[in-house]
Every structure is written in C-alpha cells, then in structure tokens.
Structure 1
Amino acid sequence: MFLPTTIKEVRALGWDYIDVILFTGDAYIDHPAFGAAVIGRLLEAEGYRVAIVPQPNWRDDLRDFTKLGAPRLFFGVSAGAMDSMVNHYTANIRLRSNDAYTAGGKAGFRPDYAATVYCQILKRLYPHVPVVVGGIEASLRRLTHYDYWSDCLKPSMLIESGADLLIYGMGERVVQQVARAMRNGYNAKLLRKINQVAFVADRSYVERLDPATTKILHSFEECQQSKRAFGENFVEEELLSNVMEPTTTLVEQVGEKYVVVTPPNTTLTTEELDHSFDLPYERAPHPRYRGKGDIPAWEMIKHSINIHRGCFGGCAFCTISAHQGKFINSRSERSILAEVEKVTKMPDFKGYLSDVGAPSANMYLMGGKNKDACRKCRRPSCLHPKLCPNLDNNHRPLLALYEKIRSVKGIKKAFIGSGIRYDLFDDSPYLATVVKHHTSGRLKVAPEHTEDHVLNLMRKPSFSMFEQLNRDFKSICEREGLRYQLIPYFISSHPGCRECDMKALSERVLGRLHFDLEQVQDLTPTPMTLSSVMFYTGENPYTGEKVFVARSQEDKRRQKSYFFRDNRTANAPQRGGNRGNKGAERSTKSGAKAGAGTKSGTRKFQYKPIKK
C-alpha cells in the first residue's frame, strides 16, 4: 500500500489526523532511491501517520498545500532528488524542456528554488505549524553560498524560506529524532540538541554556546564584502564536515540573526542502512500517474541496486561527499541480495540489472585501516593528491558480492552503470571481472580533463592513469574477444581551465587516442562545492592562489567546442548536451529569454524572505 497523497486516500485508511505531511518536488515513487518515500516509510515504521504531497501546484489558489490540512507534528519539505535549479537549467542558463522526475518527463511541475518556495507558502498558510526542510537543495544551501543562477552570494536558505529547522545530509536518523522531539509539540530546546540540523537563533543563544566546540564563521555581510572571507568559510565547512567524529558547531551571522549548524552525525551503521532499504516499499510510481507517461528517473533505476553511500574521492565539482559524506556506509550482503531477489520478481524484469553501484561503483566496504588515524584526519579526499596509505582499498569483498549476485536465480547479467574510480584499483582482478561479467558494452569512467594543473584543481588523478586504464581495457577486450567501448567523461570551463587547455585536451583525446566524445558537460557551479567557490572568488581558497575562470557564456561555449571533431575552432557553433543527456542543451524560447539581463547572461531570481 502506498502512503496517502489525497484526502480520499487518507479517509480510506480511517485516519482522523496526520502526523507528518511531506511535500516534494518529485513525482511520488515508492522506492528507496527517492527521498520522500524513504523518510515517509521510516516514520511510518516508527508508528507515525505520514502523507505525501508530490509536486504541489504553487501557481493557483494553493489548494494542494491545504487539501490535507495541518499535520499534528510538522510539514516536511524537499525540492526532490535534484537541486531544482540544476534540474531546470543547463550550464549556460537555458531552460530545460524536460524533467526526469515527472510523469511523461514534462517540465514545469516545480518552481525554481522549490524548497524555498514550498516553505514560504506553508509558513504563510500555517504560521504556527513547524516546517522542517531537507534534501540536497536545502542541505547545500544551509550556509552562505554562491548561487550561479543569480550570480551572487545568498544567505542560508533558512533566512529566505522561513523554515523552522533544516536537516542536512542523509536524514534517516535525524528525522526520526526530530519526530520524537515533536511528539508533544514544537520544542526548540530539544530540537537544537540534535546533531545534523541547522536553525536560526538570536545572539543570546549563541553567547551561551561552548567556545571550545563552536566555530564562528565570517558573517554573510563580510562574505559579501570579501571574497577571501567567503573562501575561508568554505574551507572551515569542508574540513569540519570530513571529520569522523565531529563535535564542532558552526555559527554564521546574517544581519541580526545567527544561523547555527550542529555537528554532523557519525555514519549510519550497516543495520540502520539496511533497515532503510528493507522497508515495505511498493517499488513503483503511485497509481495517480497511470496514463500520464513514464517517469524517466524511475525507468532508469527500477532494475538497479544501490550497495553503499558516501564517496571519499572529494572531487572539487561534486556535491556527493558534501551531502552523503566521505565515509563509506555499506549495506550488508543479506540486504543487497534480498533486494536483488525483489527485483527479479518485478513483472517487467528481463534478467538484467541496470546497475550494481553507488556514487562511485568500487568503494564497497572500504575505509581506513587504522581508525585512530581516520579520527585525526580532515582531508577532503582519500585519493587526492595521492592514495592515502591508511586506506584499505581491497576489492575482493566487492568481487565476492558480484559473484553472489550473478548466482541469483533469474539474473542473466548485472551491469555496473556507476562510475568506476580507476585510481583506486588494487592487485585484484577487478577490472577484468567487470569487463567480462558486468559491462553492457560501454564502461564509464571520469578522467574529466587531461592537463595536470586543471586536474589538481578538480582533485582528480593524472591523465596518465586513464591512458593506462585504456591500454588495460583494450587488452582485456582483446583477450576475451569482446568489442566493448570505454566511455570517458570530461568537463569544460572548470576553474583553472583556459582555451589552450581545451585545445590540448582535444589533441590528446580526439587526436592521439581517437575517442569520439559523447559524455561531456560544461561546468555548472553548484552550491557548497570547491569548484563553485573558485568560480566565484577567482582563487583557490586553500592556497590563496589566483585561478583563471571562464565566466562569460561565450568563453564557455568556445571551451566546449573543443570536445567535437568537426568543431575544434573557437568560433564554431556549439553542439552536444550535458552529461548523460544528449538533448539537454537544446533550449526553449523562454529559456533563451531567461539568459538576458545580467553581466554574465544569467537571470536574477529573487524571493522575499519571511520574517521570523
């Protein structure tokens, strides 16, 4: 049975009240890959009555926000599985014509800055009902951040949204604690003791915090006046978020208010993660979408298995480690194999798992050999600038898991669709096993660039490692009689990358290595990433060194043109799309208009903050 989405469904359950109502910018798919379903099922397992309002209409009389009334405990809000601005706009600020998280792939079913808009509406309609916001959009906007789409710094989304509490990172453990703290009504004192939350406080509260475990960041106003101050804030945030056993509370002043961010939780235990995946999901879109077309995101993942969370790669442009953390949180073999069995029983399953993966495919059960050394470490990456000597990169447990998955009745092939970190390989036959048993014909990896100074800013390994991988891949394919392709991902316009660097990439990859590139993208600077900080400040916040930035849309177009054989002159027309979506760069007329009006061709988006 699905969680209810309408008053009719609520009445059919015989409920006379709802404890928690969740609002999400995605279609409701009852599956562990979708946040609203996970949070809803977790709270349901704790005995709460939970309803979901997917993709509420924010343009009309707001009946979607009032149809279920007020919940007994709180409203939960998420923009969805993706940041709404990344979902809506290409890297050159053109409006996308589709949305993978909507029935029929249709665009226009969520607003820009969806989490903020939903919170504002709920606080206006129900000023006395607590609003708790979470998900990746809120998580990466919990403090002052650079907003690429309006080309300016924005304060914590708590200030603009009016939300009472923000849960950052993966929220399973936290949301259960929040619900328990609200059983008898909103209790700020209890809620502020919970780890991994952010909230707005006054000066008197901040003055009572323990100085030994509190870090006062530069204020929002100081960051507006000084790009160096903004960069320093980021360094503190990133280093403190990568501590194994964090204890530091962050405080950032915004006007007369203070945004307080409590320390992140330790990683979920295997038992906690298994519980999240083992809940009684329907593993399907809600029946309300019948006849409205396929939901592309669901079609892509419905026959896939997620084996772990977290990533210790620490890539400068990636939000995964900022949101999920750098410490790997692996599921048990029992839980994984049980899910494989469930997938084999799906009526449309033909024997092929589309992906057995995670943020990075080959980090299952990996971590530090000496945990005491990990407790002292604050490195954002365990792989850059070189592989940490304390890292246990043993691939054999993962190979054993693959073998067990292959032996499950009904499995013809289990593909690895997630990106593989080839700089993590050990002396095991991992690559040969993946090529022989787990490749659909195309193996995806992400060298991202060829030039060392750009790769260093990206926190990626030397391109020579990719060249060695290419040789090994060809050798394995030749030995096994396979005609498979290696598919590399590349990024243009990353801070530090000049047009001459793109020319060098083109000559090396298209020329010497003879690749035809399809998985390419222009950088989108997303909040709370090192790349976005360098893009905004023009310097590396860790060293203070100046960094070249291709800011204008023309500069970015010229850089991207080098990805294509018939388009290696700077003035040639742009072709191709964003990573994984060949049509993503095609814009609508409204998208073209949205690019006008600011110095960098971006549109200004502004929402009035709610006074608290």
Structure 2
Amino acid sequence: MKNEFLPISKEDMTKRGWDRLDFLFVSGDAYVDHPSFGPAILCRLLEKYGYRVGIISQPDWRSTLDFKKMGKPRLGVLVSAGNLDSMLNKFTAAKKFRSSDNYSPGGKAGCRPDRATIVYCNRIREVWKDIPIIIGGIEASLRRFAHYDYWSNSIRRSILIDSRADILIYGMGEKQLKEIAEQLQQGLNISDIRNVQGTCYKTDSIEHLWNFIETPGYDDVNTNKQAFSQAFKIQYQEQDAIRGKTIVQNHGEYSIVQNAPALPLTTEEMDEIYDLPYQRTYHPIYEKSGGVPAIQEVKFSLVSHRGCFGGCSFCAIVSHQGRIIQSRSHESILNEAKIIIAMPDFKGYIHDIGGPTANFRIQSCQKQSERGTCKAKQCLAPTPCKELMTNHTDYLTLLRTLRALPGVKKVFIRSGLRYDYLMADPSNEEFLRELCEHHISGQLKVAPEHISPKVTNLMGKSGKGVYLKFMHAYKRVNERIGKEQYLVPYFMSSHPGSGLKEAIELAEFIRDLNYRPEQVQDFIPTPGSLSTCIYYTGINPFTNEKVYVAKDIHEKKMQRGLMQYRDPKNYYLVYEALTKANRQDLIGYGPKCLIRPPHNTNHKQNSSTTTSKNSSSRNMHTKSTTQLKNNTKKHSRSRS
C-alpha cells in the first residue's frame, strides 16, 4: 500500500478494507504526521508491527459522538493531551488565557478542554465501560504521582486516578507501547500487565511487590509540605532505568505503582523510529484553516538525539526523556536530510539539527551504561563533574557532512546550546569557530537564565563567570573570522531563590551588557519539576533548606519589570522595587543608574560635564541596543 496518512474516519478505514481498528489514538493536538509529534511516532510504530491504528484529533469533548465515530477498537484506546500539558497550553504564567495554540488548526485557541487527558478518558469510559485505556504524553507523564497544580493552586491526585485509565506510560513511550500491545495481542487482561518498565498502574494491593520504595501518600503530601518534598526527592532520584527502583504512593483505596523507567533506546531503535514513513506535514483537512502552525519550526529540522544531562531544575526533560543520551546514526540522519531536501518547498536551509540540548551527542559518562546516572549529583552544575566526557567531534562531523549535501545552503543550530559544556571541552575553539562561521546567522541564542549564585545553584545552571568566559570567546572568534554576530541571552524572572535583591543583581548585569531583552520568561511551576517542588514547599528537597519564593503577583511584576527596566511602562514598578530594596543608588543620572528620578522629585546635577558625558553614554547605548534589536528576530519560547 502506498504511503498515506493514517485513518481519521470510517471512510478512511473502508478504503483500507478495515472493519475494525486494533488501537484508537485520541490526541489533544491536530494530526501532524511528523516525527516531532508523539502520536505520529507511536501510531506509525504500531502500524509497522502490523496493528490497525486510527487517530481522532481534538474531539469535541462536550459529547461522546466524536469518540465513537471510528467504532470500538479491538485492543484499546491510547490517550494523550498533546505535545504540551493542556493547562500550560492554555494559560500563561499570570494565569491569563493564551491567544493562540500552535498545535491547533490555524493556531486557534480553545480546541481542547482543560486537563484534556482526564476529560477524554472519562468520555471514553462513558462509551465503552470495559475498554483498556492507556494514557501517555507529557501531561500524563508529569502528573503520574500526586502533584502540585499551579493553575488550581492545589495538590491533585495521580492522573491515573482521576482519568480512570488502566495504565500510564511515562517517558517517550515506544518501548512500553510495543510491549503492552504484544501482551494485549496475546490475550492478557490490561489489569494483569504490571511488568512493563516505564509504566504506572493502580492497584488495591501491593502484596505482589518486592524491592520497592514507598513515598508519603496523597493524604500526607496534600497536608504536609515536608512530606511533599520527601516524596518528590524519592521520585526524582529513582528516575533511572538502570538503578531506579519501583515506587509506590498510596492514594487511599488505591496505590499508584511506578515501575523503573524504560531502558534507553539503542541507536538501532532510534533509527527505526525516525525511518518510519511519515507524511511530514499536517493532515489535508486543516488546509482550509490555514494549516497547523507548529509544523513550521520543525518541518525542515532534524532530531539527532534524545535525553539531556543538563539538569535544569525547571525543565521536564529529566522526568520525561531522562539524563542518558540516546543518539541516531549519521546514516539515518543523512537519509532524513535527503528526504527534506527533496521536498518541493525546501529552500536550502535546514533549520535545526539537535535535541533537547543541541551539543549533547554522546553520553556524559562512561559509567552510565552499567551503573546508571549519579543519584546525588549533576553532570554540569554548579561545576562540571570530573567524569564528564566533553567531546564535540561526533557532532562536528555530522554538521560538516550535512552542510556538504547537494542542495543545502546552510544548516542552522537553533535548539538549546549548553555553552558551559562547550567551555568544558578543551577543544572548544574548533567547534566554536565552525559554529560562528557556518551555523548561525547574525545571532546565537543561549540561556544563562540568571546570574545570582543563589538562583543559578537552585536552577542547576552554571554561574555568571562561565557565561562571561563564553561571551568573550564568542566575541573573539567572530572578530577573527570577520563577522559581526550577537549573543541573545535568555533570562528568567521569579524563579525560586530570586527575591528583589537577586532580581536587581540581574538587572545590573543586563545593564552592563548593554542588552535590552525583548522577551522575558516568567517562571511557570509545571508539574513534575524540581523547581515546582521548591516553589510549592519553599524547601530544597535535597538539602532540606528553606528557599525564598516570590508568589505575590505584584512582586513578580517588579522582578519582571527590572529585567526590562528601560521600558517606560515599567518605570514605576522598577522605582518601587529599587526603593523597597533600599537601592536608591540606582535611581539617578549616573552611568550605573537604572532609571532617572521621578519628574516631581528635586535632584541636583553635579556639573554640565557629567550631564554631557552621561548623555553621550546613553546615546552610545541606544545605538548599541537598536543595532542588536534590528538583528534579533522576535520569537517565543516555552518550557514544558
């Protein structure tokens, strides 16, 4: 049969000669048949192994009609809220509605319900009482235990309880789904499938378990922040496929059991996944709506690996993809590049080649394959581990091969680049030179996130000194190759540990860089992250130390305003923040001042010379920031 989209209707099933599906996949995203979209990967993998799979995307959850339109599947229903948690997809850090949804037709917001996984599953239960329901995706993965929900400001139960699903796949899911499908095909009841790594299930008895760790239960974590912190610590430290143990959390009538994470994919398994026959675009039914915006960023991009050992506390990657790097072969990547090059709308530019972190192509440590990741320390922060393998040779070779392909004008690197890992590589000069010469265009985006040690230590990020070292190396290399290119740093406001003092420290750093950030990322407490645990409890779970957390909306506005202190609309927020922090030394006309005094405040000028000098300095600064602004494309960034 020729390559085509997977069935989305009874008519599509009839064309294939199918009277019944084996699996139905219900997704909160529009159907995009591309390997950057989880439903496409999982459905194509099931298809390869002989299962009949259909997709219902963004069903109308207000009734059961859409859920029934393809009939009852033989083996089960798979449910995912989509590429983002449905609450993060809908609301900003300020809990305001987002105006668009890149994963919906035409970017239209409101095409999925709040807590989509729960809503979809309960609708399915209305239709088919006994059908096996398997949930997965980022929303289910990060809500598998009792968790803090920022949008309701409450502790919610495991999503397995509220969704009434039978089994939860956490992580990327290919190994788990294949194994579950095989066991269902063999006739096992879904309630008997309890041995698959990378899954969670609920049970009314734990007598069958051995060698497990029990965390504080839902009732405890709901009423005791110390218990919540303790539970999170266990869950975080056992997040390893090799050394991780089974975890149990009581939820009253049921206990949630998490098996150890799935083993990392081998290179052969990664190649198999990305070599599947994707259509590489959205389904034609969305043409009349203007397509699905999310495809634009990934259509001409290549995934080279999964996993991240960066250890950022606010990131979901550790809990979802894990810390062990899983890489594709060069051959597989080059074959996909040739498919992209042959596409009629390809203009010669590969938009990205990387993963969660672009320059992580190899495992961080030789010991990981046998022992797993370290339980009590990170690879990069606050300083690189002595066992860290820092080598860009493989990635550099891949980049050179890709840019030499006929039809390729340029290969960009747009996924996150860990400059601290690069600076730890003794041979970083060669990679940095080729990066600046061939793989960026005018600017490089990096994410120091903050510069106060108090904050960066909690974030799991390297300190200010490493960023400055990289900044000078970047400038030096560009001068050597004769290019004028800029660094565009990302910073985050109101992360746990950041009070007004730390926010002002960051504002002064931004001032000294002569940088004018156009976008500022407010910290959003998403389920399952270390930073969210600290945000809710005010406790660092690994040290048991108390941590300051900015929860007052007005203070968060002040912290954000400080990062964009040059914006006139932030003037009074900045003035209030500086006054409250007793930093009036930054209000005035000196070269180090962030803002001028209010118009109705009397002030003295020391001399006209000082005024002239400061005016000249401001003019130079304006020229510099304007030049940077003109070379900076507006874009948005989201963390899940």
Fold shared, TM-score > 0.5 on shorter chain: yes
Partner of 1:62: 64
Which of 5, 14, 18 is the aligned partner of 2:8? 5
* Alpha-carbon spacing, 1:126–1:380, altered in 2? closer, same or farther (3 Å): farther
C-alpha distance after superposition, 1:431-456 (max 9, x if no partner):
21111110022211110001011000
Match for residue 502 of structure 1? 503
Question: SS of the counterpart of 1:182?
Answer: helix
SS in 2 for 1:216: strand
Q: Shift in Å at residue 244 of structure 1?
A: 4.9
CA distance in 1, matches of 2:197, 2:411: 38
**Residue matched to 2:123:** 121
Rounded to whole Å, the distance in 1 between the matches of 2:378 and 2:70 is 45
TM-score between the two structures when normalised by the length of structure 2: 0.87
Does the CA-based 8 Å contact 1:267-1:329 persist in structure 2?
yes
* Structure 1 Cα separation of the partners of residues 432 and 68 of structure 2: 54
Corresponding position: 1:553 with 2:553: yes
2:221 alignment partner in structure 1: 223
TM-score normalized by structure 1?
0.91
Residues matched between the structures, number: 575
- How far apart are residue 379 of structure 1 and its match? 3.9
- Is 2:298 the partner of 1:297? no
Q: Distance in 1 between matches of 2:195 and 2:174?
A: 17
Shift of 1:381: 2.5
Partner of 1:439: 440
Q: Which residue of 2 aligns with 1:161?
A: 163
Structure 1, 185-194 or 251-260: larger mean CA deviation = 185-194
Alignment of 1:539-578 (within 5 A): 539-567=539-567, 569=571, 571=573
Query: In the alignment, which residue of structure 2 is the partner of 1:43?
Result: 46
Aligned position for 1:214: 212
Matches within 5 A, 1:477-516: 477-509=478-510, 511-516=511-516
- Matched with 2:411 is 414
User: 1:561, 1:570 within 8 Å by CA — same for their partners in 2?
Assistant: no
* Corresponding residue to 2:55 among 52, 55, 65: 52
Partner of 1:533: 533
User: Is 1:430 aligned with 2:428?
Assistant: no
- Kept in 1: contact 2:213–2:245 (CA 8 A): yes
1:234 is aligned, of 232, 235, 238, to 232
1:288 and 2:285 correspond: yes
Deviation at 1:380, TM superposition (A): 5.7
Change beyond 3 A, Cα 1:472–1:344: same
In structure 2, the partner of 1:34 is: 37
Contact 2:32/2:295 (CA < 8 Å) preserved in 1?
yes
* Counterpart residue identity of residue 39, structure 1: L
CA shift at 1:277, angstroms? 0.3
The 3 A distance-change label for structure 1 pair 179 and 7 is same
In the other structure, the counterpart of 1:105 is 107
Aligned residue for 1:391, secondary structure, equals coil
Structure 1 residue 385: Cα displacement = 2.5
Calculate percent identity across the aligned residue pairs. 42
The equivalent of 1:473 in structure 2 is 474
Structure 2 distance, partners of 1:573, 1:12, is 67
Query: Aligned letter for 2:513?
Result: L
Higher relative contact order (CA 8 A, sep 6+): 1
| CA separation of 1:62 and 1:573: change in aligned 2, threshold 3 A | farther
Distance 1:374 1:462 in 2: 29
Pairing 1:133-144 to 2, within 5 Å after superposition: 133-144=135-146
C-alpha RMSD over aligned residues = 2.0
Q: Quick one: structure 1 residues 74 and 573, their matched pair in 2 at CA, closer, same or farther if it must change by over 3 Å?
A: farther
Could you tell me whether the CA contact under 8 Å between 1:73 and 1:185 is conserved in 2? no
Structure 2 contact 324–373 (Cα < 8 Å) conserved:
no
- Secondary structure of residue in 2 paired with 1:9: helix
Q: CA deviation at 1:401?
A: 0.7
Which consecutive unaligned segments of at least 5 residues does structure 1 have? 586-612
Could you report, residue by residue, the CA deviation over 1:364-410 in whole angstroms, capped at 9, with x for unpaired residues? 12331234774372246311222122221211111111100111111
1:34: how far off?
0.3
The aligned amino acid for 1:30 is: D
Contact 2:307 2:318 in 1 (8 A): yes
- Measured against aligned partners, the alpha-carbon deviations of 1:326-377 in whole angstroms (never above 9, x if no partner) come to 0000000011111111110111100001111110010012331234774372
Instruction: Report the CA distance between 1:481 and its aligned residue.
Output: 1.8
Bigger Rg over Cα: 2
Work out the CA distance in 1 between the residues paired with 2:208 and 2:276. 41
Q: In structure 2, what is the Cα distance between the partners aligned to 1:297 and 1:383?
A: 31
Asked if the contact 1:363/1:393 (under 8 Å) is kept, the reply is: no
Deviation (angstroms), 1:288:
0.9
Could you tell me how far 1:188 is from its partner in structure 2?
3.9
One-letter identity of the residue aligned with 2:255: Y
User: 3-state SS of the aligned residue for 2:202?
Assistant: strand
**Aligned residue in 1 for 2:89:** 87
What secondary structure, in the 3-state scheme, does the structure 1 residue paired with 2:271 have? Answer: helix
Matched residues in 1 for 2:408 and 2:66: separation? Answer: 42
CA–CA distance in structure 2, aligned partners of residues 262 and 252 of structure 1 = 12
C-alpha offsets along residues 160-211 of structure 1, whole Å, 9 cap, x if unaligned?
11001100001001101011111144524651011111111012xx02211x
Question: Does structure 1 residue 360 correspond to structure 2 residue 362?
Answer: no
Q: Structure 1 400/504 Cα, relative in aligned 2: closer, same or farther at 3 Å?
A: same
Name the SS for the 2:145 alignment partner.
Answer: coil
Deviation of 1:580 after TM superposition, in Å, equals 9.9
Question: Relative to 1, partners in 2 of residues 1:197 and 1:476: Cα closer, same or farther, differing over 3 Å?
Answer: same
In 2: Cα distance, 1:542 partner to 1:379 partner: 8
Gaps of 5+ in 2: 577-631
